[in-house]
Structure 1
Amino acid sequence: MRRGVRAVTALLSCALLAACGTRASSDGLWAEPQLATPPQYRIGDGDPRGASIVRAAREWVDLGTVPGEGTPWESMSRWALIDLHQAMGGLDSGHAPAAGAADRWDYFWPRDGAFIALALDRTGHTQEAAAVIDFISRLPFDTQQGLDARYLLNGQRVVVDPRGPQSDGCGWVLWAIGSMTDEALPRSADALRTKCVMNVLRLTSSGWLLPPPSPDYWEIPVGQTSLGTVAPMLAGLRATADHGPAAERWVAGQAAKRLEERVHESMGPALERFGERGGLDAAVAMMMPPFGPEDGRTTKRWLAYQREAMRSSGGLAPGAEWKQDGTSWTPETALVAYTAAASGREKTAERWLTWLDEHRTPWGSLPEKVNRSGSPAGPAPLLWTAALVLLTLDELEPPA
């Protein structure tokens, strides 16, 4: 009798563990994220406004260029542009585009705005690109810490926001301004550039020191400076040195050289989230082209990140030590695609673009995440991902 009970117990245990002799997969220990965007996002399910809204968006897309036109990713590119257009509907009335199509993402992140502005510029929508930069220039600004992590869509501070200031913001803004055409820069860009340069110089002691600890794109409290905070600052200084006004080029260039040395001295050769610990994360891609010249020390770690942060759904997590729930994150995956394209690794860029394309929503948008079952999750669209895909496809365009 006891042997029979033990046998039944063993069989039940095997069934629960999927196979005898194995432990439960860590993927099974987390609840799967689901889509946060309501199915009516595209306004087409029985709503008579749907056809006219999409038609107007298509007409706007045709006013510019479509990166990847004629390639397998043309549809993804067009819908990414349509999503940007739909989200920017409030700019004329002073409201910024929301980061994603869901309530919890109904805020404006300066980081996302920097990528959106550059994507708009690269696709010929310079007026809208200028409007995004002008909006950023009017945001409340802390001279010590810089920009907040996020703002209300009307540009006001979030009254009670645990995310607080996030000092990588100025780095991203400087990188975007330094990468954009003159036609896409409003008059306010000069003052915005100057105050952001001063902020980065102050936080890094003109490049001699790493900046103080600050939340980065992971947006969690940290007690040590992360690569995700300092890498955007380095990118911003480099862009200013290359394309800023004469008065700021030299000082930004010298600070960039010193800060690059400091990063490799303090955080290399591992270049993990906190140097020698924290695991590789997507911040290592922020050290690759187009954010700066390629360096073999960084490239080696960038390649390793793609192996170590791979998730069972086929994409990448923010970091190798991010929770092991099998979920892939599209911004980080698209960031790697962008840096692959910018560094001449077309096959790598195409691989990640294909994965992104295959995991869009039924209405064509790029979601924030793809859960371990392979389904889109989180807000869809997520504008940071949409902008990164457009920039990647633009990098892959053959020279004119």
Structure 2
Amino acid sequence: MSSRRRRFWTLAAVVAVVALVGAAAAVRDRGRVDEVGLYTLGIGVQADGSVTTIPTDSDAHYLPGTRVIAPGPDASDADREAAEALAEETTAWLDAGTVPGAGGRHEELVTDALLDLHTLTLDGGAAVAGFSTKWRYVWPRDASFVAAALTVTGHHEDAVEVFTFLDGVQHPDGSFEARYLPDGSGPPDARGLQTDGTGWVLWALAYVADVLGPGTERDEFLARFTPMIERSTGYLQTQVANPRSLPAPSADYWEHRESALTLGTAAPVLAGLEASARLYSWLGRDPDAAAVGADADRLEQAVVANFGQTGYGRYAGRSPRDAATAFVLPPFQPEALPGAAAAWESSIEEMDRPAGGLAPGGSWPETSISWTPQTSLYAWSAAANGETDRADGWLTWITQHRTPLGAIPEKVGPDGSPAGVAPLMWSAAVVILTVAELEGNAP
């Protein structure tokens, strides 16, 4: 373990002893039991190439190593041949890249997650969050993590398609809507702008460029997306160009309308500005890198002053923590912000749920449901900060709570049953990134 990580976790252990241990009890009633069913067993590719959801009462299964639905006994010879051809295409795609965790305990988890990513990345780079109707949209946040996962597994061309989709739907000022229709025609509703999307896109661009490393491929990638880098950076710089150096309130991963700034917005904006400084440096634009770096420094100081002084709660001042605490640590920040280690440690107790996973936050209204996006995010932050046993534990928990078809569900009920939409793209992407981190194959 590096000296930086050793100091990080030593500080976490010391400060956690004096953390606000009663916060969890103050914000939720453990006696409440929330009920949510499983919507689908997973997704599958039919013989005609179309994607479909698989109902929970289905006995469907896949052709080995794919998400192609095995034809039933009454299928025509033409359908059988078409399904086999699709399966061969899937196998070729998988073989063209790498599977983090191959040969280890997480190989099956990652392989299934990667197959779901491949299936849910539609033509034109539309990386939809899920295939159930209410999730069949592209969230810039989710798509950013998908692009990172695709590149780290050797499928960079697919990642470029995802970024190309995002480039096409982004507003000229660098902002993003909360989500988009998969045909790229615009948002499906009037939710409005969501600032964290711009931060996540910049963060993912830098992550991918870092994975590519110096050379022609990275140069071409950066050149292709320079306009999106410039728009996104300009938007975030405008957000922090005020006396407080903090962005305006916005919905974040909770997807609630907010009248006060949350850490779930401030931290991704900081991650985006930090990423932009690196991107400009790789582009050879040192003055721009310095200017953005100065904005990032001001924002970091403001985040520490407004959120960090009281333990990095969801809101400035004393408030229950949420999973955005992970966003002020590596891999989302170059270094952990002051006090972030202890806050991360304390947040786990506030967010733990009966089945063993984590909720989106200590004050999240569902008190008995675990969520896989936040559980996987904490696995990744653990892996990125030297807590490998903890990361392994959360990954194993996710493996054990998948659907019978191997899909990672959005939620897990108090009895350990998979629940909600399955698979969920964000969770699948983060699982892949976590295992890559554990293998030392991440930036």
Q: TM-score scaled by structure 2?
A: 0.79
Contact 2:36/2:420 (8 A) holds in 1: no
Q: Output the amino acid matched with 2:149.
A: A
CA shift, 1:38, in A, is 3.1
Partner of 2:186: 157
Q: Closer, same or farther in 2 for the Cα pair 1:45/1:284, shift >3 Å?
A: farther
Q: Closer, same or farther in 2 for the Cα pair 1:383/1:399, shift >3 Å?
A: closer
- Whether 2:297 is the aligned partner of 1:257: answer yes
1:159-178 counterparts in 2 under 5 A? Answer: 159-161=188-190, 163-178=191-206
Deviations 1:237-293 (A, max 9, x none): 111222333243111111111100001111122210002244110001011101111
Contact 2:304/2:337 (8 A) holds in 1: no
CA shift, 1:375, in A, is 1.1
Across the aligned residues of Structure 1 and Structure 2, the Cα RMSD in angstroms comes to 2.2
Moved more, 34-43 or 252-261: 34-43
Contact 1:133/1:186 (8 A) holds in 2: no
> 3-state DSSP class of the match of 2:94?
helix
Partner of 2:98: 65
CA shift, 1:179, in A, is 1.3
Moved more, 47-56 or 216-225: 47-56
Deviations 1:53-85 (A, max 9, x none): 444323211110110111111001111111111
CA shift, 1:340, in A, is 1.0
Contact 1:207/1:258 (8 A) holds in 2: no
Moved more, 33-42 or 351-360: 33-42
CA shift, 1:386, in A, is 0.8
> 3-state DSSP class of the match of 1:27?
coil
Partner of 2:386: 344
Deviations 1:75-129 (A, max 9, x none): 01111111111112x32xx351211121110100110111111111111111101
- Whether 2:118 is the aligned partner of 1:85: answer yes
CA shift, 1:32, in A, is 2.6
Q: 1:373 aligns with which of 401, 408, 415?
A: 415
Q: Output the amino acid matched with 2:201.
A: V
Q: Closer, same or farther in 2 for the Cα pair 1:326/1:310, shift >3 Å?
A: same
> 3-state DSSP class of the match of 1:115?
helix
Partner of 1:325: 367
Partner of 1:236: 272
Partner of 1:124: 154
Q: What is the number of equivalent residue pairs in this alignment?
A: 371
Contact 2:379/2:390 (8 A) holds in 1: yes
Q: Closer, same or farther in 2 for the Cα pair 1:207/1:193, shift >3 Å?
A: farther
CA shift, 1:140, in A, is 4.1
Partner of 1:280: 321
Q: Output the amino acid matched with 2:339.
A: R
In 2, Cα distance between equivalents of 1:374 and 1:62: 33
Contact 1:207/1:256 (8 A) holds in 2: no
Bigger CA radius of gyration: 1
Q: 2:128 aligns with which of 76, 86, 98?
A: 98
Moved more, 225-234 or 197-206: 197-206
Partner of 1:307: 349
Partner of 2:260: 224
In 2, Cα distance between equivalents of 1:233 and 1:399: 25
Q: Output the amino acid matched with 1:67.
A: P
Contact 1:27/1:372 (8 A) holds in 2: no
Q: Closer, same or farther in 2 for the Cα pair 1:251/1:326, shift >3 Å?
A: same
- Whether 2:144 is the aligned partner of 1:114: answer yes
Q: Closer, same or farther in 2 for the Cα pair 1:266/1:325, shift >3 Å?
A: closer
In 1, Cα distance between equivalents of 2:116 and 2:395: 17
- Whether 2:54 is the aligned partner of 1:38: answer yes
- Whether 2:169 is the aligned partner of 1:139: answer yes
Q: Unpaired segments of 5 or more residues in structure 1?
A: 1-23
CA shift, 1:177, in A, is 0.7
Partner of 1:11: none
Q: Unpaired segments of 5 or more residues in structure 2?
A: 1-28, 41-52, 62-66
Q: Output the amino acid matched with 1:99.
A: A
Moved more, 150-159 or 49-58: 49-58
In 1, Cα distance between equivalents of 2:441 and 2:435: 13
In 1, Cα distance between equivalents of 2:416 and 2:196: 31
> 3-state DSSP class of the match of 2:183?
coil
In 1, Cα distance between equivalents of 2:273 and 2:222: 20
Q: TM-score scaled by structure 1?
A: 0.87
Deviations 1:296-315 (A, max 9, x none): 50011111111110000110
In 2, Cα distance between equivalents of 1:343 and 1:99: 27
Partner of 1:26: 31
Q: Output the amino acid matched with 1:81.
A: L
CA shift, 1:371, in A, is 1.2
Task: Using CA pairs under 8 Å that are at least 6 residues apart, name the structure with larger relative contact order, 1 or 2.
Answer: 2
- Whether 2:308 is the aligned partner of 1:268: answer yes
In 1, Cα distance between equivalents of 2:94 and 2:201: 25
Moved more, 318-327 or 212-221: 318-327
In 1, Cα distance between equivalents of 2:441 and 2:206: 21
Contact 1:313/1:372 (8 A) holds in 2: yes
